[in-house]
């Protein structure tokens, strides 16, 4: 369908006709009122003889009302035709995807789930002979993973995301909550909760089942997790660059300048949503067909099955590649050619139709929900299910309007401070772990090898009959 067919029919002529009809009605009413006033003013004081009744004149008011009703009927018919044209499956998909691409501010909620299946490939077979053959499952394996996601992005290009990660591992369930705020200058704020509890459950893995080390490793977990759990940490690339001792002062300045150049490119990408929507309109590769299954979906509106057009997707992807190349990210990175250990270029290859066709053939069933307005359409959800021989997966995400401005955590500490604090804890643990182990398992000989602060003595005399 070309661009002319995609446009909603013009309603300006209809509106003009309505205005003219109403205006005519008002003018006629004013004329009749003026005529009545004039007749009253010029009437004689004496009673005039009654004249013979004449045929009544036709009122133009009725004509104006009839014209108005007719215009309204035509307008209603035009709107009905326009509605029918814009609510074909092709135009619904075009409108919904275009609106989604052009909007930066939205709220996302939902879940992503993965469940592993025990198959023959997950069995370890130990055979000492053809008679004695034992098959066992691996000692540890991830059984399931689930992410409960909520994300809000505002009109300033800032976002706040919360995610709960739930892992099923070796019969245990581990939960870790993550909060991530990204602000306009691409500084990132991160908060993690649940690390301590999850790490304690993993102690048997860390100690390889040796209970003698359990208390020592639990101390490490408590100290490190205590620095992380429930606290906000600020990650700023310019701040991190300042801590790299291998870079000279001039190299640090150059890296920061390049970082600024890259963030400007990212800002341009965010601001060009309408341009990318126009590219999609020319290469609308998403086709929809009304869903006729018996499943229910959490998104508002009507459910549709999705299919993709390989030719149009290739055109869209390659035109988008050309568009992104115009932003000249390579020019930013070229400034880092003399800085050691930094990638100075990137390459984006053109998409091939054969590769796209292979991907499409292996895609699972995809369903979307679309809220169909009178002339606009909003993508409200996406749902994907896959049931393979080794796993089953499910994505259930709903989209809605942004819930407001993203706020920056006011109690965040620098990630550099976090790293330094954690490394101090780990170093202290490493220096004292051996002596703590000796005191716990060989208390009689502890004083010969360690001081009161659990640090190993530099000069000690090995005592007779000590086997540690």
- Distance, in Å, from the CA atom of 24 to the CA atom of 86, rounded to the nearest integer, reads 34
Enumerate the β-bridge partners of residue 81: none
Q: What is the mean pLDDT of residues 258-269?
A: 90
Look at the alpha carbons of 98, 103, 104, 105 in this order and tell me if their dihedral is positive or negative: negative
The answer to the question of residue 337 being in a domain is: yes
Check pLDDT > 50 for residue 435. Answer: yes
Which of residues 353, 368, 400 is at a domain's end?
400
> pTM for this structure?
0.70
- Yes or no: say if 175 and 198 are a contact pair by the CB < 8 Å rule: yes
Do residue 166 and residue 274 come from a single domain?
yes
pLDDT of 57: 52
Do residue 25 and residue 138 come from a single domain?
no
Residues comprising the chain, all counted: 468
What percentage of residues in the chain have a pLDDT greater than 90?
30
- Yes or no: say if 289 and 307 are a contact pair by the CB < 8 Å rule: yes
The answer to the question of residue 423 being in a domain is: no
Do residue 138 and residue 19 come from a single domain?
no
Do residue 71 and residue 118 come from a single domain?
no
Q: State which residues form the domain around 68.
A: 1-36+61-86
Supply 12's token pair.
């300006």
3-class SS of residue 96 = helix
Which of residues 349, 368, 400 is at a domain's end?
400
Do residue 243 and residue 299 come from a single domain?
yes
- Tell me which of 35 and 9 has the higher pLDDT: 35
Following CA atoms 355, 356, 360, 361 in sequence, which dihedral angle do they give, to the nearest 10 degrees?
A: -30
Residue listed under structure tokens 């796993």: 391
State which of 79-88, 103-112, 327-336 shows the largest mean pLDDT.
103-112
Do residue 387 and residue 362 come from a single domain?
yes
Do residue 139 and residue 190 come from a single domain?
yes
- Yes or no: say if 368 and 383 are a contact pair by the CB < 8 Å rule: yes
Number of compact structural domains in the chain: 2
Pick the range with the lowest mean pLDDT from 83-97, 114-128, 165-179, 423-437.
114-128
Supply 139's token pair.
């000692």
Cα 278 to the chain's mean position, in Å? 21
pLDDT digits (tens, 9 = 90+) for 376-404: 789 999 999 988 888 899 999 999 988 88
The answer to the question of residue 235 being in a domain is: yes
pLDDT digits (tens, 9 = 90+) for 210-236: 777 778 888 888 888 888 888 999 999
Query: If pLDDT is split at 50, 70 and 90, which confidence band does 439 have?
Result: confident
pLDDT digits (tens, 9 = 90+) for 359-378: 999 889 999 999 987 667 89
3-class SS of residue 453 = coil
The answer to the question of residue 310 being in a domain is: yes
Do residue 119 and residue 81 come from a single domain?
no
3-class SS of residue 169 = strand
- Distance, in Å, from the CA atom of 17 to the CA atom of 77, rounded to the nearest integer, reads 14
Query: If pLDDT is split at 50, 70 and 90, which confidence band does 111 have?
Result: very high
DSSP 323-358: HHHTT-HHHHHHTTTTSTT-------PPPPHHHHHH
The answer to the question of residue 3 being in a domain is: yes
Check pLDDT > 60 for residue 41. Answer: no
Supply 369's token pair.
């929900």
Supply 87's token pair.
């609510």
**Parallel, antiparallel, or unpaired for β 413-414 and 231-235?**
parallel
The answer to the question of residue 225 being in a domain is: no
pLDDT of 452: 86
Which of residues 400, 432, 451 is at a domain's end?
400
Do residue 78 and residue 114 come from a single domain?
no
Do residue 236 and residue 346 come from a single domain?
yes
Do residue 282 and residue 326 come from a single domain?
yes
Do residue 71 and residue 183 come from a single domain?
no
């Amino acid at each position: 369908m070309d661009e002319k067919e995609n446009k909603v029919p013009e309603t300006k002529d209809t509106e003009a006709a309505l205005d003219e009809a109403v205006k005519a009605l008002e003018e006629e009413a004013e004329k009749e009122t003026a005529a009545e006033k004039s007749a009253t003013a010029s009437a004689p004081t004496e009673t005039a003889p009654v004249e013979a009744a004449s045929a009544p004149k036709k009122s133009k008011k009725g004509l104006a009302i009839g014209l108005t009703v007719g215009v309204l009927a035509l307008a209603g018919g035009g709107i009905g035709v326009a509605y029918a044209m814009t609510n074909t499956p092709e135009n619904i998909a075009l409108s919904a995807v275009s609106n989604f691409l052009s909007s930066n501010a939205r709220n996302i909620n939902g879940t992503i789930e993965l469940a592993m299946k025990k198959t023959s490939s997950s069995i370890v077979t130990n055979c000492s002979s053809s008679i004695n053959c034992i098959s066992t499952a691996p000692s540890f394996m991830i059984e399931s993973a689930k992410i409960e996601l909520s994300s809000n992005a505002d009109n300033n290009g800032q976002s706040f995301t919360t995610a709960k990660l739930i892992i099923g591992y070796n019969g245990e369930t581990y939960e870790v909550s993550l909060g991530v705020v990204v602000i306009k200058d691409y500084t990132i704020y991160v908060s993690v909760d649940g690390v301590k509890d999850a790490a304690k459950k993993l102690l048997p893995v860390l100690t390889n089942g040796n209970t003698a080390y359990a208390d020592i490793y639990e101390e490490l977990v408590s100290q490190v997790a205590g620095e992380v759990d429930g606290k906000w940490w600020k990650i700023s690339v310019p701040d991190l660059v300042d801590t790299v001792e291998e870079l000279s002062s001039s190299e640090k300045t150059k890296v920061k300048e390049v970082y600024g150049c890259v963030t400007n490119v990212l800002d341009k990408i965010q601001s060009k949503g309408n341009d990318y929507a126009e590219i999609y309109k020319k290469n609308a590769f998403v086709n929809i067909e009304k869903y006729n299954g018996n499943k229910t979906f959490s998104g508002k509106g009507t459910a549709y099955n999705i299919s993709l057009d390989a030719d149009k997707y290739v055109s869209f992807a390659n035109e988008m590649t050309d568009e992104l190349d115009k932003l000249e990210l390579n020019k930013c990175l070229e400034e880092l050619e003399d800085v050691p250990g930094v990638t100075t270029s990137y390459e984006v290859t053109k998409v091939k139709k054969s590769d796209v066709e292979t991907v499409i053939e292996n895609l699972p069933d995809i369903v979307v929900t679309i809220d169909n307005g009178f002339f606009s359409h909003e993508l409200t959800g996406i749902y994907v299910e896959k049931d393979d021989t080794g796993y089953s997966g499910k994505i259930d995400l709903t989209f809605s309007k942004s819930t407001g401005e993203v706020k920056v955590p006011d109690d965040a500490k620098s990630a550099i401070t976090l790293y330094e604090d954690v490394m101090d804890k780990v170093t202290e643990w490493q220096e004292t772990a051996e002596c703590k182990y000796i005191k716990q398992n060989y208390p009689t000989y502890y004083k010969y090898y360690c001081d009161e602060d659990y640090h190993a003595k530099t000069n000690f005399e090995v005592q007779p009959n000590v086997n540690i």
